[in-house]
């Protein structure tokens, strides 16, 4: 655990704490202590404040290595989650993102354009416990909007909103378009005004065409004999508002997917890449779905340690920081296995006296042998 914390840019963290006045009037339980405890809870899978307190009691003789007090009381952690500004941990996420980007490998495609996928996932909440997160009459929810960078499959843009917020509204208002990048998203982001903004800034998009798309064919792309490509046409929108919002040509690709036995229509403003590459870009969109599934199955973003909005946001941002921390360690050490396997290694040996570098070289049998060699407690009756 101590070796994990050494990968956190402490100077930048302290700067964020000073800017957010996180340690103002604090005597013992600092913002760094809070982050350490929450990171421990994420990596070890603790579900509640009582679980965290009981764990600190059981591991009391090891806590001094982390600079923590002897026992982390539930009320102390609850007050810190309620009162400390969540933007401190949001800022730490983006500092870690800068470090990860310098190590991530390139995406699998041959083109050099940066590739990003946009999507969101809904986190259900109990409306009676979280009244500020009203989604429907009897249901509460949050939305986690994310942009996944395919260079390393790391989240490069994250916004947490209420469940009513539409995906395209967040993308339109908050996402900075980077020239020469390719943005992939589903039909929920269809907005020709936003498409025009992407096009005018020298970037590209790949999405699914809606069934009611009104257009006329003005040309045909040269297509190679490629399995699955049925048609590759140049089109223009025919409706009045469509022509006002996007007065440029678009590319419509009809693709037959053998796996699902479906014909898909892809819409893009990129006329240079092969039609099969455009289809491959949209197929790679499943990686953001896998990312959301990984988060919900392995990190604590579905059950929360507090009911206030600030406490929920702190827990989500710490979970995202932990994901980037795992990615940073994986790419820095060139760890051959998956992030899931790395997470399990960390979880099993979190408070053990073992070198992180040695740990990354262990297989399942050697790890089990290491766990079996730990000294056992002896009781006399």
- Structural domain count of the chain: 2
Q: Answer yes or no: is 167 within a domain.
A: no
Last residue of a domain, one of 271, 297, 325: 271
Together in a domain, 265 and 343? no
Together in a domain, 8 and 74? yes
Together in a domain, 7 and 78? yes
Q: Answer yes or no: is 312 within a domain.
A: yes
Together in a domain, 343 and 262? no
Together in a domain, 315 and 267? no
- Residue 228 maps to which CATH number? 2.20.25
Last residue of a domain, one of 271, 287, 322: 271
Q: Answer yes or no: is 242 within a domain.
A: yes
Together in a domain, 267 and 315? no
Cβ(310)–Cβ(284) below 8 Å: no
Average pLDDT per 10 consecutive residues for the chain, totaling 381 residues: 88 94 87 92 90 83 70 89 94 94 90 95 91 88 95 93 92 93 95 95 95 91 76 93 93 90 94 92 94 92 90 95 94 87 86 78 61 41 28
pTM tops 0.75, yes or no: yes
What pLDDT, on a 0 to 100 scale, did the predictor assign at position 100?
Answer: 92
Together in a domain, 11 and 72? yes
Last residue of a domain, one of 271, 289, 321: 271
Determine the structural domain holding residue 208 and report its residue range: 201-271
From residue 320, alpha-carbon distances to 71, 191, 309 in Å are 26, 29, 17
Q: Answer yes or no: is 349 within a domain.
A: yes
Q: Answer yes or no: is 82 within a domain.
A: yes
Together in a domain, 320 and 260? no
What pLDDT, on a 0 to 100 scale, did the predictor assign at position 374?
Answer: 45
210-219 contacts: CB < 8 A, separation 24 or more? 213/237, 213/265, 213/267, 214/238, 214/239, 214/242, 215/250, 215/252, 217/252, 218/249, 219/249
Please report where in the chains the tokens 């998203």 appear, as a residue. Answer: 185
What pLDDT, on a 0 to 100 scale, did the predictor assign at position 377?
Answer: 36
């Amino acid at each position: 655990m101590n070796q994990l914390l050494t990968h956190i840019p402490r100077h930048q963290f302290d700067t964020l704490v000073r800017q957010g006045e996180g340690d103002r009037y604090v005597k013992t339980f600092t913002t760094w202590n809070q982050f350490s405890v929450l990171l421990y809870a994420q990596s070890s899978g603790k579900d509640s404040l009582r679980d965290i307190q009981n764990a600190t009691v059981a591991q009391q003789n090891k806590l001094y290595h982390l600079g923590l007090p002897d026992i982390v009381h539930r009320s102390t952690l609850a007050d810190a989650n309620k009162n400390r500004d969540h933007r401190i941990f949001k800022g730490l996420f983006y500092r870690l993102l800068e470090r990860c980007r310098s190590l991530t490998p390139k995406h699998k495609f041959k083109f050099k354009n940066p590739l990003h996928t946009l999507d969101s996932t809904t986190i259900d909440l109990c409306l009676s416990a979280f009244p500020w997160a009203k989604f429907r009459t009897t249901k509460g929810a949050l939305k986690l909007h994310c942009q996944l960078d395919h260079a390393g499959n790391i989240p490069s843009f994250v916004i947490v909103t209420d469940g009513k917020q539409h995906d395209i509204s967040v993308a339109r208002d908050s996402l900075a378009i980077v020239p020469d990048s390719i943005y992939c998203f589903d039909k929920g982001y269809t907005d020709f005004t936003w498409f025009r903004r992407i096009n005018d800034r020298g970037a590209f998009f790949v999405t699914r065409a809606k069934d009611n798309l009104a257009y006329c064919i003005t040309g045909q792309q040269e297509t190679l004999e490629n399995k699955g490509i049925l048609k590759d046409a140049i089109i223009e929108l025919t409706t009045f508002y469509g022509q006002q919002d996007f007065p440029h040509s678009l590319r419509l690709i009809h693709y037959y997917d053998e796996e699902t036995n479906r014909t898909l229509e892809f819409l893009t403003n990129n006329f240079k890449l092969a039609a099969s590459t455009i289809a491959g870009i949209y197929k790679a969109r499943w990686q953001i779905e896998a990312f959301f599934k990984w988060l919900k199955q392995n990190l604590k973003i579905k059950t929360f340690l507090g009911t206030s909005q600030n406490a929920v946001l702190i827990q989500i941002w710490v979970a995202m920081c932990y994901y980037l921390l795992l990615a940073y360690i994986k790419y820095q050490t060139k760890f051959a296995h998956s992030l899931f396997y790395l997470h399990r290694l960390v979880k099993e040996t979190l408070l053990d006296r073992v070198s992180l570098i040695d740990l990354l070289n262990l297989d399942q049998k050697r790890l089990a042998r290491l766990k079996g060699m730990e000294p056992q407690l002896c009781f006399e009756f």
